[in-house]
Amino acid sequence: MITVEQVLRLPGLGLEPVVEADTSLPVSWVVTSELPDPTPFLEGGEVVLLTGIRAGHGDRSWDGYAHRLAARGVVALGLGVGERLTHPAVPPELAAACRASGLTLFRVPEATPFLGILRATAEMRAAEERTALESMLAQQRALTRAAVGAGGPARVVRELAGALGGWTGVCSPDAEVLEASAPGPPALPSGRSLPELLARLRPAGLRGSLSESGPDGTVLVHPLGVGDLPRGYLVVVLPGPADPLRTGVVATAVALLSLHAERTAEQALFRRRARAGALALLLGGEVRSADALLAVAGDATWSSVPQVRVALLRGGAGPLEDAAHRLGTGPVRSGRPVLVGSPAERSAGELTAAVLVEDAPARLAELRAVAAATGLRAGIGGPVAVAEAAAGEREAREALARTTAQQPVAAWDDVVTAGVTALLDPDTARAWALALLRPLREERLRPLLRAYLAHNGHRARTADELGIHRNTLQQRLHEAETALGRSLEDPQLRAELWLALDLAERPGRPAAASGHGATGPVHRAEETRNDSAER
């Protein structure tokens, strides 16, 4: 940037300041004009040279002339003076007018051609541009060296901040700061928050960029990536304006970080596909092949995980792809879901995809959060060994069948807690129960049998609960056996009677598992089975 002061100090020209206003103002160019009002042909930032042939004469006073130039943004006025020119010396009226308008005025000796001032200014500008270009190239090389080294993005961010003298950071599309030159981001000069800026940019995809200035500096935001959607954003907060040198360095950083983001995305996509293939193999019982595929992708093998859960997600293709992206970047290890189900289901637009997660509270919480965020239904199987993933898929399918619009997530643990009757069709189960109990026409026999079964066949306790003599109990149990045509000592009959009494005495019981609710806590299936056995 060339200033008025630098123009006044050009060597060998003999320029003499007469009125010094703000000499730190930048100079856009040097022009000559003898027009009484050259402002229609100016853009601001110019140094105007004249001899005063027409300006300041007649009804066009120096006051009006100086005021018009200052209002247009002219930064300095140079008057050529000499014995052979219009003015042998600078008119006092012109000096007073420039002083009143805040316009720098300098004297140009007769021996100094205006062309010499233009040429010297152009050479100074060219030299400054060469210096700026060399500086930008040096900074670009430094950024490139940082990008190809270990921890490329973090090093690029720090190198860029050092070159610009500001704060720089890389954030995700959701405005999460991933890399930063310093803790932050700081307060943005525009007064907007980072999520607000990204919300404005996001609809434009990779075509959008943003530059906003405020009293405290400038904020620049550029999308990163070379595909269809931004992989992230580079945010730069500068203490001053964004000059061409700075914007050029930022552009280099954007290119380097975009390439790294695409390379990272390709690697992540490869790992997601490898995980998807491994999951398909696991569901088919091919544990060794699945581990071999994961090893090729440089991922941890599943055989080292004690227990896993299979989850089935159901919904449209768009939400499933969104879930795949979220699961591929979150703590859930499965990554890209594998489509399962019949071609008829897929053609109907309702897709079902399987994912595999470690049996850990954090993984299950992440899976539930993704299902809620994408609007998918999810059925989560119970904890199984990796080699039993196929069984886990069957459990997940049963849980998925019990999801509703109000409870879009169901777990096999809840189904187990609800008992085996939750697995039966309610109408069919009730019809079976009534058929089994139909021979017991005496109404008193059903409560007797329930008490007898509740005490696990202990006759003394049963008689005490019912308030009858043991012989009376014995007689009625014999009546029940005669009606059923089977002995109550048969454990299978006891189990069937218990279920039948439960189904018959609670008409209209829904088939969906009540338990803790589809969105309640997930308990380990083995613990639930043990509890049921104790009861």
Confidence band for 109, pLDDT divided at 50, 70 and 90:
very high
Q: Is the pLDDT assigned to residue 294 strictly greater than 80?
A: no
What's the chain's average pLDDT? 80
Max mean pLDDT among 61-65, 238-242, 259-263 falls in 61-65
Q: Is the pLDDT assigned to residue 405 strictly greater than 50?
A: yes
Structure tokens at 440: 């017991």
Q: Is the pLDDT assigned to residue 322 strictly greater than 90?
A: no
8-state DSSP, 506? S
Q: What is the pLDDT of residue 78?
A: 95
Contacts 24+ apart (CB under 8 A), 236-242: 236/160, 236/164, 236/166, 236/167, 236/168, 237/166, 237/167, 237/168, 237/184, 237/185, 237/186, 237/188, 237/189, 238/164, 238/165, 238/166, 239/165, 239/166, 241/213, 242/211, 242/213, 242/218
Q: Is the pLDDT assigned to residue 420 strictly greater than 90?
A: no
Task: Give the pLDDT mean for 234-238.
Answer: 88
Task: Give the pLDDT mean for 106-131.
Answer: 90
Confidence band for 423, pLDDT divided at 50, 70 and 90:
low
Structure tokens at 69: 């130039």
Task: Give the pLDDT mean for 255-264.
Answer: 81
Provide the pairing of β-strand 351-358 with 308-315: antiparallel
Task: Give the pLDDT mean for 214-243.
Answer: 83
Q: What is the pLDDT of residue 508?
A: 52
Q: Is the pLDDT assigned to residue 25 strictly greater than 70?
A: yes
Q: Report all structural domains of the chain as residue ranges with CATH numbers, in order of start.
A: 4-112 (3.40.1390), 149-263 (3.30.450.40), 272-407 (3.30.70), 425-505 (1.10.10.2840)
Which of 75-79, 100-104, 406-410 is least confident? 406-410
Look at the pTM and tell me if it is higher than 0.85: no
Q: What is the pLDDT of residue 447?
A: 86
Task: Map tokens 């014999």 to a residue.
Answer: 478
Task: Give the pLDDT mean for 272-291.
Answer: 76
Task: Give the pLDDT mean for 225-254.
Answer: 82
ω into 17 cis (within 30 of 0): no
Residues in the chain, total: 535
Identify which has the larger pLDDT, 350 or 465.
Answer: 465
Q: Is the pLDDT assigned to residue 336 strictly greater than 60?
A: no
Confidence band for 24, pLDDT divided at 50, 70 and 90:
very high
Q: Cβ neighbours of residue 379 under 8 Å, at least 6 residues apart?
A: 311, 312, 314, 396, 397, 398, 399, 400, 401, 402, 403, 409, 410, 411, 412
Cα torsion through 457, 460, 464, 469, rounded to 10? 110
Q: Is the pLDDT assigned to residue 100 strictly greater than 90?
A: yes
Which of 9-13, 366-370, 495-499, 525-529 is least confident? 525-529
Burial class of residue 497 in the structure, from the number of CB atoms within 10 Å of its CB (0-12 exposed, 13-18 middle, 19+ buried): buried
Q: What is the pLDDT of residue 154?
A: 82
Digit-coded pLDDT (tens) for 149-187: 677 788 888 888 878 788 988 888 888 888 888 887 788
What is the rounded CA–CA span in Å between residue 231 and residue 327? 16
Task: Give the pLDDT mean for 121-146.
Answer: 78
Percent of the chain at pLDDT > 90 equals 19
Identify which has the larger pLDDT, 416 or 407.
Answer: 407
Max mean pLDDT among 47-51, 369-373, 453-457 falls in 47-51
Q: What is the pLDDT of residue 421?
A: 66
Q: Is the pLDDT assigned to residue 338 strictly greater than 60?
A: no
Q: Is the pLDDT assigned to residue 511 strictly greater than 60?
A: no
What is the rounded CA–CA span in Å between residue 414 and residue 417? 5
Confidence band for 532, pLDDT divided at 50, 70 and 90:
very low
Q: Is the pLDDT assigned to residue 524 strictly greater than 60?
A: no
Angle at the Cα of 156 (from 153 to 159), degrees rounded to 5?
150
Task: Give the pLDDT mean for 184-204.
Answer: 82
Nearest to 412 by CA among 379, 385, 387, 389: 379
What is the rounded CA–CA span in Å between residue 246 and residue 248? 5
The three state secondary structure string of 435-490 is HHHCCCCCCCHHHHHHHHHHCCCCHHHHHHHHCCCHHHHHHHHHHHHHHHCCCCCC
6 dihedral zone (left: phi>0; alpha: psi -120 to 50; beta):
alpha
Contact at 8 Å (CB) between 79 and 94?
A: yes
8-state DSSP, 89? S
Contact at 8 Å (CB) between 236 and 220?
A: yes
Confidence band for 517, pLDDT divided at 50, 70 and 90:
very low
Task: Give the pLDDT mean for 489-514.
Answer: 70
Q: Is the pLDDT assigned to residue 115 strictly greater than 80?
A: yes
Q: What is the pLDDT of residue 422?
A: 65
Percent of the chain at pLDDT > 70 equals 85
Identify which has the larger pLDDT, 522 or 19.
Answer: 19
Identify which has the larger pLDDT, 334 or 135.
Answer: 135
Provide the pairing of β-strand 104-109 with 16-19: antiparallel
Q: Count of CB atoms within 10 A of residue 211's CB? A: 16
Q: Is the pLDDT assigned to residue 11 strictly greater than 70?
A: yes
Identify the helix (H) or strand (E) that includes residue 355: strand 351-358
Contact at 8 Å (CB) between 258 and 226?
A: yes
